[in-house]
Amino acid sequence: MKTNAHTLPVSSTISDVERDTGVAKETLRVWERRYDFPQPQRDAHGERVYPVEQVRKLRLIKRLIDLGFRPSKVIAYNAEELQAMAERAVQHGPGPTHAHPEQQQLLELCKAHDMDALRRRLSQALLVMGLKSFVIDLVAPLTRLVGEAWASGQLAVFEEHLYTETLKTVVRSAIFSVPQANAASIGAPRIILTTLPQDRHSLGLLMAEAMCVVEGAYCVSLGVQTPLLEVVEATRVLQGDIVALSFSASMNPRQALDSLAELHMRLPEETELWAGGNNAALRRRNPKFVRVLNLSDIGHAIVEWRLRHPRHSTRAG
């Protein structure tokens, strides 16, 4: 009898595992030494390869770390126990989302992989609500709902990625449709938006950009995972008035605070530093040199910036 090779589990290289789980190669090696997990096999060339069941457990561990757990507290449990822990964490976490029926319907479209219908529904809502209300009242709570569904195992990684890419298409198109300020626009702060290298989550950044554009700011998005010194250089070259950073819950809070402190030290004194997101560092502490904002705060913050900079009536191009 012939064996269908497509049905056989395929082991993953360390690069595959990094892409699949979001756990860095260096971290995988540290866990291997410190906790005796993962336990990779070796291929014919002596390179690490990870069995399917270990990759599944690593996904669950990363999920729990994103929910605030420490690796040392979860790595010894098996996959079923980790799944149960994730579900309990979402149920008893800080205020699980109470989904509006429309948000629940959009989540169901994502679970059904009907991304065309999801895109149409989002686009229709955008036309009715306008970009500002669309971001604050629909996209932000829906994204949280999707995150909770992923954390509790109701959504697979690829399904969460499908949602992310669909939403990015809709929001990016909406941003392009807004009359854009330019670098010489009167009263338009130049805002440099990005995340730092440890944070590859892009939706928070995109939502912040949408809110800034609606308020007439001139926005330059560097995308995600920009090295800190490159943020400084971009701010210098592009004459940024504000550097706005998005921090997801998955970034280490200490790294977030240290990065903010270093940026504050390296940026020009007149450049403001704004931060947002659901990282614990922004909830527990509020460094005096950083303005921590929710999406709904951005409009007021830009108005205040204009009041503090009345001489920004003309610019060199």
Query: In the prediction, which pLDDT does 98 show?
Result: 61
Query: In the prediction, which pLDDT does 307 show?
Result: 92
Query: In the prediction, which pLDDT does 312 show?
Result: 61
Please give the domain boundaries of the chain with CATH numbers for all domains. 8-91 (1.10.1660.10), 101-177 (1.10.1240.10), 190-308 (3.40.50.280)
Query: In the prediction, which pLDDT does 311 show?
Result: 65
Query: In the prediction, which pLDDT does 92 show?
Result: 59
Closest CA to 190 of 224, 225, 166, 216: 216
Cα distances (angstroms) measured from residue 42 to each of 5, 12, 24, 39: 20, 11, 19, 10
Please state whether beta strands 218-221 and 12-13 pair in parallel, antiparallel, or not at all (unpaired). unpaired
Give me the residue label for tokens 């709902």.
145
| Ordered mean pLDDT values, 10 residues apiece, the chain (317 residues) | 49 87 89 95 92 90 83 92 82 58 93 96 96 96 88 81 95 92 81 92 95 95 95 96 91 87 94 91 80 95 92 51
Query: In the prediction, which pLDDT does 186 show?
Result: 78
